[in-house]
Chain A
């Protein structure tokens, strides 16, 4: 085995290659590795954040649903109340109307009755006068009789 200038050649080549590697190989490749590490870290973080947001949104949705159900129930209750109210009002109105109608009818009946009584009364007076005339057969003083008949008629 001979030692010769190959040692020097190899040493020079070594330093040149190490220099090249240091200048053009190592920095870009480590930069790529670091960037990818950062990317992955960012991605994981984003995923975590999304998961958190999702949970938040789900909670919120459940809350809203509960709220909506409550509101719906309230509305239904309100509507029921209002419906009962309306029915009650309508009943009252109908009752009033009926009473009013009844009252009207009664007044009319009274009036008719009065009118019938009046007619009857005058007719009875006439009949009484005619009857009295027939009974007496005599022509008594028209004026005195008139007074009598009127008195008779008012007593009827």
Chain B
């Protein structure tokens, strides 16, 4: 696929191009617009946005909620149809996990876990689509054969960090809400060695706490970035890519589900910790 249209492109260029984002931000000359290279995108600094990741992410989020709403509209308490049955299995799975890992009472956790699982699952699933299809579609639509377009939002650290930061915010919010500001900060200051070892306590507790969002984001991002790179390399080997791609994709079905599930479970567990006193 790589050398179908751009024969001059080297393998490195191909991979690098596929790893670039469609970034919208302020360019070096002061005008706002899309970056034309990875370097330019980097130079835009923080106030830029990856339009491709964001767009696919929103589309998949809407797809998830739309599917559920569509199903609820025609839902029945009698014998459920195929789609309803499928969605109910997911909801029941989420419900069971929440029930087993979350002991406090909070109506947010169920929908939160469901949203995380389904949305991340859909994003991850995007990497099963052959790596060139969606970029090619975007390039055709935009009329620009060099357009950067990344189809798998979870290969964007910004997206996974968006999830993780939001969850982190909820952890802090509920910690303070349940235990009070003093109780929340006290957990860092006075555990595990009592108040006389305060610096040591901080040294032990704070990194663990701050590692939660970082590990959440990096685990998901790392898995899918690596998976994406392997898919790209496979796409370079000519006709042999077909069985290779198939094999890697089958393996990735597992990763897709597992990582979505893991993110959901860790969120539930972290929020349960936020609701309980040590």
Contact = CB atoms under 8 A, between A and B. Distances in A.
Given A10-B53, A29-B87, 10 more contacts: A4-B45, A4-B47, A6-B53, A10-B159, A11-B162, A18-B112, A24-B72, A35-B77, A36-B78, A36-B80
Contacts of B46: 3-5
Interface string A1-42: 111111111110111011011101110111011011001000
B219 to A, nearest CB: 15
A10 B144 CA distance: 26
A40 B176 CA distance: 42
Contact of A6 (B69, B110, B158): B158
Contacts of B50: 4, 6
B251 to A, nearest CB: 24
Contact of A17 (B61, B75, B78, B95): B61
Q: Which 10 A-B pairs have the closest CB atoms?
A: A10-B162, A6-B158, A22-B111, A26-B111, A21-B111, A35-B77, A4-B48, A6-B50, A25-B68, A14-B166
A30 B65 contact: no
The contact size tier of chain A is 20 to 34
A18 B48 contact: no
Interface in B115-141: 115, 119
Contacts of B65: 17, 20-21, 24-25
A6 B23 CA distance: 9
A13 B47 contact: no
Interface in A28-58: 28-30, 32-33, 35-36, 39
Contacts of B53: 6, 10
A17 B57 CA distance: 11
B198 interface: no
A35 to B, nearest CB: 4
B269 interface: no
B165 A11 contact: yes
